[in-house]
């Protein structure tokens, strides 16, 4: 770096304000062969120079844990600060001194001037940093191939769309996720019904449901209940990427996000836990209903009320890998995502109205045939 740029950086470092962050020096790993900036390589799980192909492993520090630690939820207030403040912020690249403007929630990018990787250091030291990261295992080329297989399996997608759909540029990004562990103890009460078939004096059969009261207790442990900490993406599409193998997370290192984008959370841990708790309650109720059906050989369950208590609450803040892309069909853009770990695809496709009509008519015909046969 030239003397003038060094002076500029020195002056900037002593005048940080709320809207300004600086990059971490250790983010950029220089290639020892050609001096280029190395990126994370999903194929090897290490660093690779995109210019000369030199590779290196990501070294683990002594006594460094393999994965993110489980933190007590009751202590979250001591470390959390969810106020990210501003819509935009200025970033100074330590490699060339260039200034760039990024969204307030973005924590990783590439300098548009010199190509240096940037992991941004927030000026607010109370901001929670990621505890772990699930590294990319799927490359952009593999993601493109998986997309083609996915869209060809979509029955209601027009044939022309399947043949012409070409994914545009893939953007690899790490999205913020909260995971929660919980032990649950629940009590429940309700009614279960058993169907009985009776034949009347006229010879016609009739189904009657006999109802019985039921109550009991139920225990279940939940591990890594996921809540996405971003509000910038389609939530149903993100849910379609699940599950992630979160147990394979690595202790966070900036090398893992080198060459990829990363986003900081906009949903804080308190709000995320409330969302996770509702998801867990919904699952518990469904599991209890299945339990009653199995134990009582029941045909129906109704008026089920469940009271759940939570204990042994822990959480992790992880970055999970996602490939973002889109394709065009008849001048309309359709977005899709690819799970950067498992390769699962989630997205939207155009619909073929003729195929929908044919399927609906076929279903009606089958139902009519069943009704006709059952009348004899």
Predicted confidence band of residue 330 (pLDDT cuts 50, 70, 90): confident
* DSSP H or E run through 150: helix 140-152
pTM given for the model: 0.79
Predicted confidence band of residue 154 (pLDDT cuts 50, 70, 90): confident
Q: In this model, does residue 145 exceed pLDDT 70?
A: yes
- Which residues, in sequence order, are CB contacts of 340 under 8 Å at separation 6+? 42, 134, 136, 137, 138, 143, 172, 320, 321, 322, 323
Asked if 250 and 67 touch (Cβ cutoff 8 Å), the reply is: yes
Each residue of 1-56: pLDDT tens digit? 333 433 333 332 333 233 344 444 445 678 899 988 889 999 999 999 999 999 99
Q: What is the pLDDT of residue 373?
A: 66
Select the more confidently predicted residue: 234 or 84: 234
Mean pLDDT over residues 297-308, rounded? 97
Asked if 43 and 139 touch (Cβ cutoff 8 Å), the reply is: yes
55-56 and 46-48 strand pairing: antiparallel
Q: In this model, does residue 265 exceed pLDDT 60?
A: yes
- Which residues, in sequence order, are CB contacts of 251 under 8 Å at separation 6+? 60, 64, 65, 66, 67, 68, 131, 132
| Three-state SS sequence of 220-258 | EEEEEEEEECCCCCCHHHHHCCCCCCHHHCEECCHHHHC
Cα separation, 354 vs 361, in Å, equals 11
Mean pLDDT over residues 355-359, rounded? 75
Q: In this model, does residue 104 exceed pLDDT 70?
A: no
Assign residue 82 a region (left: φ > 0; alpha: ψ between -120 and 50; beta: otherwise): alpha
Burial class (CB in 10 A: 0-12, 13-18, 19+), 72: exposed
Q: In this model, does residue 70 exceed pLDDT 80?
A: yes
């Amino acid at each position: 770096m030239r003397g003038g740029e060094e002076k500029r950086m020195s002056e900037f470092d002593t005048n940080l304000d709320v809207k300004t962050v600086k990059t971490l020096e250790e983010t950029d790993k220089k290639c020892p062969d050609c001096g280029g900036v190395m990126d994370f390589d999903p194929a090897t799980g290490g660093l690779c120079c995109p210019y000369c192909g030199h590779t290196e492993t990501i070294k683990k520090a002594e006594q460094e844990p393999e994965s993110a630690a489980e933190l007590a939820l009751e202590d979250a207030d001591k470390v959390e600060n969810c106020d990210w403040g501003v819509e935009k912020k200025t970033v100074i690249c330590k490699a060339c001194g260039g200034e760039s403007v990024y969204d307030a929630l973005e924590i990783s990018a590439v300098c548009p001037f010199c190509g240096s990787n940037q992991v941004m250091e927030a000026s607010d030291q109370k901001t929670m940093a990621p505890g772990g990261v699930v590294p990319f295992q799927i490359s952009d080329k593999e993601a493109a191939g998986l997309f083609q297989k996915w869209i060809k399996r979509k029955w209601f997608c027009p044939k022309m769309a399947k043949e012409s759909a070409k994914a545009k540029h893939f953007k690899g990004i790490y999205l913020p996720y909260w995971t929660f562990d919980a032990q649950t103890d629940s009590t429940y009460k309700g009614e279960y019904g058993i169907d009985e078939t009776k034949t009347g004096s006229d010879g016609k059969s009739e189904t009657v449901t006999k109802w019985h009261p039921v109550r009991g207790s139920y225990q279940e442990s939940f591990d890594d209940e996921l809540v996405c900490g971003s509000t910038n993406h389609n939530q149903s599409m993100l849910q379609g990427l699940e599950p992630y193998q979160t147990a394979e997370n690595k202790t966070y290192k900036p090398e893992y996000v080198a060459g990829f984008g990363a986003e900081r959370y906009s949903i804080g841990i308190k709000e995320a836990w409330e969302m996770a708790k509702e998801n867990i309650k919904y699952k518990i109720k469904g599991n209890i209903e299945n339990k009653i059906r199995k134990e009582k050989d029941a045909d129906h369950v109704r008026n089920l009320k469940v009271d759940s208590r939570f204990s042994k609450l822990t959480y992790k803040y992880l970055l999970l890998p996602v490939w973002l892309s889109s394709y065009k069909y008849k001048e309309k853009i359709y977005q899709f995502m690819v799970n950067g770990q498992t390769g699962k695809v989630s997205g939207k496709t155009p619909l073929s109205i003729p195929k929908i009509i044919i399927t609906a008519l076929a279903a009606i015909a089958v139902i009519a045939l069943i009704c006709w046969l059952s009348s004899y």
